Structure 1
Amino acid sequence: MAERTSPTPDQHDDGGGTAAAISGGDGSTSKRVRINDEVTEHEYLDNGSLKRRKVDTGEKNGASDDDDEEDDEDDDEEVVVPDKVTAETAGDLYLETIDRKRLDFDFEKLCSVSLSNVNIYACLVCGKYFQGRGKSSYAYFHSVDEDHHVFINLQTLKVYILPESYEAKSATLDDIKYVVNPTFTKSDIAKIDKVPVEAHDLNFKPYRPGFVGMNNIKQNDYLNVVIQSLAHVGPFRNFFMLENFEGKPELVQRVSILIRKLWNPHAFKGHVSPHELLQHVSAISKKRFRITEQADPFDFLSWFLNNLHLALGGSKTRYHSSFIQKIFQGKVRIESQRITVHADAGDRLRFEADAQIQANEMPFMFLSLDLPPAPLFQDDADKNIIPQIPLQSILSKYDGVTTHELAGHRKRYKITEAPPFVMFHIKRIIKNNLIEEVNHTVVTFNSFALDMGPYIEGATEPILYDLVANVTHESVEDKHVYSVQVKDKSRDEWLRIQDLYVESIRREILFLSESYIQIWERRR
Structure 2
Amino acid sequence: MPAADLPVAGEPESKRPRDDAEADGEVKRRKGKAEVPQRTDCPYLGTINRHVLDFDFEKLCSVSLSGENVYVDLVDGKYFQGRGKDTAAYRHALERGHYVWMNVHDGKVFCIPDGYEVVDKSLEDIKFNLTPIFDEEEVEHMSTRVRYSKALDGTDYIPGCIGLNNIQASDYQNVIIQMLCIVTPLRNMLLAYQPPTERKKDPVISSLADLLRKMYNPRNFKGLVSPHEFYQAVGAATGKKFYAKQMDPVAFFTWLMGYLHKKCKTKSGGSLVHDVFQGEVQVKLSPAADEARVTESKEKTLMLSLHLPDEPLFKDNLDFIPQVPLFNLLEKFNGEKSHEKIAKGGESREIRRYNLRRLPPYVICVVKRFRNNNFFVEKNPTIVTFPLKGLDLRDYIHPDCQPANPETKYDLVANICHDGKPEKGTYKIQVFHQPTSQWFELHDLRVTAVLPQMVALTESYIQVYQRQDVKADGSFGKFEMEIPEMSTEVDTGIAAEIEMAPEDLAEAGIIIG
TM-score range, shorter chain: 0.7 to 0.9
Q: Which residue of 2 aligns with 1:373?
A: 310
Q: Which residue of 1 aligns with 2:510?
A: none
* Contact 1:335–1:413, Cα closer than 8 Å, also in 2: yes
Q: Which residue of 2 aligns with 1:508?
A: 453
Choose which of 213, 216, 221 in structure 2 pairs with 1:268.
Answer: 221
Local SS of the residue matching 1:512? coil
| Residue 283, structure 1, aligned to residue 246, structure 2 | no
Aligned AA for 2:275? K
| Residue 357, structure 1, aligned to residue 294, structure 2 | yes
Q: Please list the CA deviations of residues 364-391 of structure 1 after superposition, one character each: whole Å capped at 9, or x if unmatched.
A: 111111000101222xx34311000111
Q: Which residue of 2 aligns with 1:140?
A: 90
Moved more, 216-225 or 78-87: 78-87
Shift of 1:179: 0.6
Distance 1:203-1:360 versus aligned 2 partners, 3 A rule:
same
| Counterpart Cα distance in 2 of 1:215 and 1:307 | 23
* Contact 1:252–1:312, Cα closer than 8 Å, also in 2: no
Q: Which residue of 1 aligns with 2:264?
A: 312
Q: Which residue of 2 aligns with 1:388?
A: 323
Q: Which residue of 1 aligns with 2:351?
A: 410
Q: Percent identity?
A: 37
* Contact 1:157–1:177, Cα closer than 8 Å, also in 2: yes
Q: Which residue of 2 aligns with 1:490?
A: 435
Is there any run of 5+ residues in structure 1 with no aligned partner, and where?
1-27, 31-39, 44-49, 56-75, 340-351
| Counterpart Cα distance in 2 of 1:96 and 1:110 | 26
Q: Which residue of 2 aligns with 1:128?
A: 78
Aligned AA for 2:418? H
Q: Which residue of 2 aligns with 1:250?
A: 203
Q: Please list the CA deviations of residues 236-288 of structure 1 after superposition, one character each: whole Å capped at 9, or x if unmatched.
A: 11110013124431111000000111111110000000111101111111111
Matches within 5 A, 1:172-191: 172-191=122-141
Q: Which residue of 2 aligns with 1:152?
A: 102
Distance 1:322-1:248 versus aligned 2 partners, 3 A rule:
farther
Local SS of the residue matching 2:47? coil
Moved more, 94-103 or 142-151: 142-151
* Contact 1:199–1:208, Cα closer than 8 Å, also in 2: yes
Q: Please list the CA deviations of residues 75-128 of structure 1 after superposition, one character each: whole Å capped at 9, or x if unmatched.
A: x9999615328842552x111111000000000121111111222211111111
| Counterpart Cα distance in 2 of 1:209 and 1:506 | 20
| Counterpart Cα distance in 1 of 2:54 and 2:337 | 54
Q: Please list the CA deviations of residues 207-235 of structure 1 after superposition, one character each: whole Å capped at 9, or x if unmatched.
A: 11111111112211111111001111111
Structure 1 consecutive aligned stretches of length 4 or more whose deviation exceeds 4 Å: 40-43, 76-80
Aligned AA for 1:272? V
Local SS of the residue matching 1:353? coil
* Contact 1:452–1:462, Cα closer than 8 Å, also in 2: no
Local SS of the residue matching 2:231? helix
Choose which of 255, 262, 267 in structure 2 pairs with 1:303.
Answer: 255
* Contact 1:122–1:154, Cα closer than 8 Å, also in 2: yes
Q: Which residue of 1 aligns with 2:334?
A: 399
| Counterpart Cα distance in 2 of 1:77 and 1:480 | 68
Moved more, 101-110 or 140-149: 140-149
Shift of 1:189: 2.0
Aligned length: 442
Q: Which residue of 2 aligns with 1:335?
A: 284
Aligned AA for 2:419? E
Q: Which residue of 2 aligns with 1:88?
A: 39
Choose which of 148, 154, 163 in structure 2 pairs with 1:204.
Answer: 154
* Contact 1:338–1:354, Cα closer than 8 Å, also in 2: yes
* Contact 1:251–1:311, Cα closer than 8 Å, also in 2: no
Matches within 5 A, 1:201-240: 201-240=151-190
Shift of 1:53: 5.3
- Over the aligned positions, Cα root-mean-square deviation in angstroms equals 2.5
Instruction: Tell me the TM-score normalised to structure 2 length.
Output: 0.81
| Counterpart Cα distance in 1 of 2:285 and 2:74 | 63
Higher strand share: 1
* Contact 2:140–2:188, Cα closer than 8 Å, also in 1: no
Shift of 1:518: 0.8
Local SS of the residue matching 2:48? coil
Distance 1:147-1:243 versus aligned 2 partners, 3 A rule:
same
* Contact 1:429–1:436, Cα closer than 8 Å, also in 2: yes
| Counterpart Cα distance in 2 of 1:508 and 1:83 | 64
Instruction: Tell me the TM-score normalised to structure 1 length.
Output: 0.80
Local SS of the residue matching 1:54? coil
Is there any run of 5+ residues in structure 2 with no aligned partner, and where?
8-12, 29-36, 343-348, 470-513
Shift of 1:42: 8.2
Distance 1:477-1:280 versus aligned 2 partners, 3 A rule:
closer
* Contact 1:330–1:363, Cα closer than 8 Å, also in 2: yes
* Greater relative CO (CA pairs within 8 A, separation 6+): 2
| Counterpart Cα distance in 1 of 2:184 and 2:22 | 59
Q: Which residue of 1 aligns with 2:360?
A: 419
Higher CA-based Rg: 1
Q: Which residue of 1 aligns with 2:17?
A: 54
Moved more, 466-475 or 243-252: 243-252
Q: Which residue of 2 aligns with 1:162?
A: 112
Matches within 5 A, 1:445-524: 445-457=386-398, 458-459=401-402, 463-475=408-420, 479-524=424-469
